[in-house]
Amino acid sequence: MLLKRLIVCLDVRNGRVTKGVKFKGNVDVGDPVEMAAQYCADGADELVFYDITASAEHRCCDLDMVARAARALSVPFTVGGGIRGVDDMRAALLAGADKVSLNSLAVEHPEILTTGAKAFGRQCVVLGMDAKRVPKTTQIPSGYEVVIRGGRQPTGRDALAWAKEAVDRGAGEICLNAIDTDGVREGYELPITQLVSTAVPVPVIASGGAGHPTHLVDVLTKGQADAALIASMVHTMGFTCGGIKQALRDAGIPMR
């Protein structure tokens, strides 16, 4: 039986893990690889590293960190942030990453999804998408707009339509982050998660809003997500991967 996945996200700023609230204000919580190894030992099924300062500094994600992570981790991990094209994707994969997450770049240059999928296989092309609640319009019928540049820049595009297009172009997985709930810790944004997850034929990772194991139960059942991404729950709120997974198992969700 295919199991649901618990994925831990580490936002890396200048080589350190930080946790922000709605992309504003960040607190230092530790060394990314040391933390990731600990989460891996505690049962995390997958890890994601976002180099959140790479884009602004016009550089690829920290490849030394990727190489260190590859050495330390025995479960898959994704890297994102600062990927400028197929050469950066190749560098990240060669350094040992299993998947590369593309966000703003994919919106502005969607052909990268196709190029990346052809070069490395669609299984390593993850579409990272930030979606924001907006009034439903003919242009944005789902009521969720794609935003880029860390949530600062609206695109005028419908999140559901973009998810479908990205998969047609080559994305093998979607990490769907809800801007409105991100960092708020009161639960995932279930409606858009369910909309996207049932509309695309690739796995969907729900992100943004986890503050309690029941939030993961909700997004993996009602939200129909294939995986749930968490950050501050384990970084700063005192939950453990093992404890969260046990709570999910107790709720009848199949976990490793």
Partner 1 sequence: MITILDYGAGNLTSVRLAFERLGVTPQIITDAAAYQGGRILFPGVGSAASGMDGICNRGFDRLLRDAVAQHGPVMGICLGMQLLLTSSEEDGGVQGLNLIPGACTHFDRQKDPTAKIPHMGWNTLQHQAHPILYNVPQDSAFYFVHSYFVTPANPTDVLGTTEYCGERFAAVIGHGSLIATQFHPERSGEAGAKLLENFLTWEGVCS
Interface segment toward partner 1; rule CB under 8 A; list 12-20, 55-63, 188-196, 197-205: 197-205
d(Cα 81, Cα 59) in Å, to the nearest integer?
A: 9
Q: Which is nearer to partner 1, 96 or 154 (CB)?
A: 96
* Binding of partner 1 by 252 (CB under 8 A): no
* Binding of partner 1 by 227 (CB under 8 A): yes
Residues in contact with partner 1, total (CB under 8 A)?
29
- Residue 11 falls in the annotated catalytic set: yes
Among 31, 70, 149, 240, binds partner 1 (CB under 8 A): 70
Lookup result for tokens 């939950």:
239
| Residue 131 bridge partners (DSSP) | 146, 178
From 45, 51, 62, 130, the catalytic residue: 130
Instruction: Look at residue 159 and give its three-state secondary structure.
Output: helix
- Residue 130 falls in the annotated catalytic set: yes
d(Cα 130, Cα 150) in Å, to the nearest integer?
A: 8
Among 122, 132, 235, 245, binds partner 1 (CB under 8 A): 122
Instruction: Look at residue 207 and give its three-state secondary structure.
Output: strand
CB of 69 to partner 1, least distance (A): 10
d(Cα 209, Cα 233) in Å, to the nearest integer?
A: 10
Q: Which is nearer to partner 1, 74 or 138 (CB)?
A: 74
Helix (H) or strand (E) holding 89: helix 86-94
d(Cα 27, Cα 204) in Å, to the nearest integer?
A: 28
d(Cα 136, Cα 158) in Å, to the nearest integer?
A: 10
Residues labelled as active-site residues: 11, 130
* Residues making contact with partner 1 (CB under 8 A): 1-3, 5, 40, 45, 70-71, 74-76, 93-96, 98, 120-124, 172-173, 201-203, 226-227, 256
